[in-house]
Amino acid sequence: MRHKRFPIDTFVVAGRTMSLRYCDLLVASSEGNDDADWECLAASNDEVQLAPAPYALELRSGHRDFNGEAILVRSDGLAHVFRGIGPLRGMTEGDLG
């Protein structure tokens, strides 16, 4: 299993920028599998009510931009867990190498 964590500086959910306490993008892939699994764990400074549904996510880690579709798995208004439901754009071949 190959994996990588990207600390996220900017997090946009369905066009809305979230004020963050912290946010991590976690990406993993098993050997021989070209498709990576990914999820985003975010804690917002302000309460944000989101319904469990698919969302378009835009993420920035330093100078790197990522985006993809993810479903909201869990949220209490301040802590949010999104799981990728499609490809994560912005990854390079060497990211998990």
Encode pLDDT of 33-64 as tens digits. 667 899 999 999 999 999 999 999 999 999 99
- Is 9 a domain residue? yes
- Is 41 a domain residue? yes
- Is 21 a domain residue? yes
- Is 75 a domain residue? yes
Dist. CA 90–CA 73, nearest whole Å: 22
Q: How many domains does the chain have?
A: 1
Per-residue confidence at 32, pLDDT binned at 50, 70, 90? low
* pLDDT in the model for residue 66: 97
- Is 52 a domain residue? yes
- Is 46 a domain residue? yes
Dist. CA 33–CA 82, nearest whole Å: 22
- What predicted TM-score, i.e. pTM, was given to this entire model? 0.92
Domain that holds residue 53: 2-84
